């Protein structure tokens, strides 16, 4: 799958549910309305979708959400997709999770072939963690992170950088991740979906975060070849990697190799644009994959060159109306 700008599409992110057991302030409002369960693709349909993309050249699959580990029987999906790792058709099967369910799932995920995992953690302080996630239990997530480490999963911590919320603990996070052997990636808040609050107050440019970190740590840029938006550095003092995802201040679209599938079978060719393709209808029209493959090819041809997120201070409207939990992070 090569798009009109010559980018080979090899990375698929799949949101397996829009539901979540947390309500992070930058992601959801507390009274979120979720999709009726009957609109979701079944796990068998998700497997068929993913397997078709793999047949078409996808090498890396990330399962996300909402919270992927709250989807009923989701482990079965990992176990069945693991077959593509065994044949070599797929290079990597991974997930992004809030960590609440990891104490239970870390080992079986590792057994299914998952080697690396992204875990979101915005604070090391239990009270603050609760304020950010509204419903979260910090100890439960830390237990989950420890279980992932113990199961042999390579852990990357994702931290959303928020002004006046967690900006005073970034040094501590670098220190802790370095000591635990985890990569750490800072993320800027993106204007996605109505959250019943004002995002402009939370926005903290990572250029500032990085400059502040560099007054304490020696961060040396290292090449990143994932085609993703993260820019990585190596921290000399801890030996760990520290990355920065800067969709608001940095243009990473030229190397974008990914597309995103929602839990209802809608394919978004760009996280920051509204254009999308319905793949559920072609999937359900026939048991053969021919119509689905055609629809995927038609969609890839429409992948835009890039996005242009802005947080509009005058209108205070999200740049993209759907929540991050719909297309997955
Ligand atoms: N529930 C899982 C989790 O939290 O890791 C997976 C889905 S979540 C939508 C994926 C990532 O997106 C998380 O790291 C989260 O912090 C991030 N995220 C959610 N909404 C965001 C926003 N508006 N701006 C920036 N990052 C966001
Ligand atoms: Fe749930 Fe993840 Fe969104 Fe937090 S960021 S509310 S954990 S989907």
**Residue range 63-101, pLDDT digits in tens:** 999 999 999 999 999 999 999 999 999 999 999 999 999
Q: Give the count of beta carbons closer than 10 Å to the beta carbon of residue 266.
A: 19
What torsion do the CA atoms of 194, 197, 202, 205 make, to the nearest 10 degrees? 30
Task: From 64, 95, 120, 192, give the residue whose CB has the most ligand 2 atoms within 8 Å, as the site to mutate.
Answer: 120
End-to-end CA distance of the chain: 22
Question: What contacts 272, CB < 8 A, 6 or more positions away?
Answer: 190, 247, 306, 307, 308, 309, 319, 320
Q: What is the pTM of this model?
A: 0.93
- Indicate which atom in ligand 2 lies nearest the CA of residue 27: 3
320 lines ligand 1 (CB under 6 A): no
Ligand that lies nearest to the alpha carbon of residue 133, given by its number in the listed order: 2
Span 178-206, pLDDT tens digits: 999 999 999 998 776 666 666 677 889 99
Q: Whose CA is nearest to atom 11 of ligand 1?
A: 329
Q: Which residues contact 182 (CB under 8 A, 6 or more apart)?
A: 145, 149, 155, 156, 157, 240
* Distance from the alpha carbon of residue 99 to the mean position of ligand 2, in angstroms: 10
What pLDDT is stored for residue 91 in this prediction? 98
pLDDT value of position 314? 45
Per-residue pLDDT reduced to its tens digit, 146-160? 999 999 999 999 999
What CATH number was assigned to the domain covering residues 11-327? 3.20.20.70
User: How far is ligand 1, taken at its centre, from the CA of residue 289, in Å?
Assistant: 32
Nearest Cα neighbor of 40 from 261, 268, 260, 263 is 263
Report the pLDDT value the prediction gives residue 127, as an integer from 0 to 100. Answer: 98
Distance, CA of 22 to CA of 14 (rounded, Å): 19
Pocket test for ligand 2, best of 13, 16, 23 (most atoms within 8 A of CB): 23
């Amino acid at each position: 799958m090569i798009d009109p700008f010559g980018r080979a599409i090899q990375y698929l992110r799949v949101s397996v549910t829009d539901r979540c057991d947390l309500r992070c302030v930058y992601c959801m409002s507390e009274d979120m309305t979720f999709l009726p369960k009957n609109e979701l693709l079944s796990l068998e349909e998700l497997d068929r979708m993913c397997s078709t993309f793999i047949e078409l050249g996808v090498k890396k699959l990330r399962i996300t959400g909402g919270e992927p580990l709250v989807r009923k029987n989701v482990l079965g999906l990992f176990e069945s997709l693991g077959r593509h790792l065994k044949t070599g058709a797929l290079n990597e099967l991974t997930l992004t999770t809030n960590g609440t369910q990891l104490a239970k799932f870390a080992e079986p995920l590792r057994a299914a072939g998952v080697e690396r995992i992204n875990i979101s953690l915005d604070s090391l302080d239990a009270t603050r963690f609760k304020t950010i996630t509204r419903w979260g239990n910090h100890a439960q997530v830390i237990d989950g992170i420890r279980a992932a480490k113990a199961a042999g999963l390579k852990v990357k911590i994702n931290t959303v950088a928020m002004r006046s919320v967690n900006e005073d603990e970034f040094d501590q996070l670098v220190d802790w991740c370095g000591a635990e052997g985890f990569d750490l990636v800072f993320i800027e808040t993106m204007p996605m979906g109505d959250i019943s609050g004002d995002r402009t107050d939370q926005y903290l440019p990572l250029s500032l975060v990085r400059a502040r970190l560099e007054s304490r740590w020696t961060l040396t840029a290292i090449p990143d070849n994932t085609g993703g938006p993260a820019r990585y550095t190596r921290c000399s003092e801890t030996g760990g990697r520290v990355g920065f995802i800067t969709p608001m201040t940095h243009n990473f679209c030229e190397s974008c190799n990914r597309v995103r599938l929602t839990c209802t079978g809608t394919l978004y060719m760009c996280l920051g644009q509204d254009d999308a393709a319905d793949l559920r209808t072609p999937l359900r029209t026939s048991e053969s994959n021919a119509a689905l493959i055609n629809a995927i090819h038609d969609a890839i041809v429409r992948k835009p060159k890039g996005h242009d997120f802005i947080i509009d201070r005058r209108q205070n409207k999200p740049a993209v109306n759907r929540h991050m939990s719909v297309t997955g992070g």
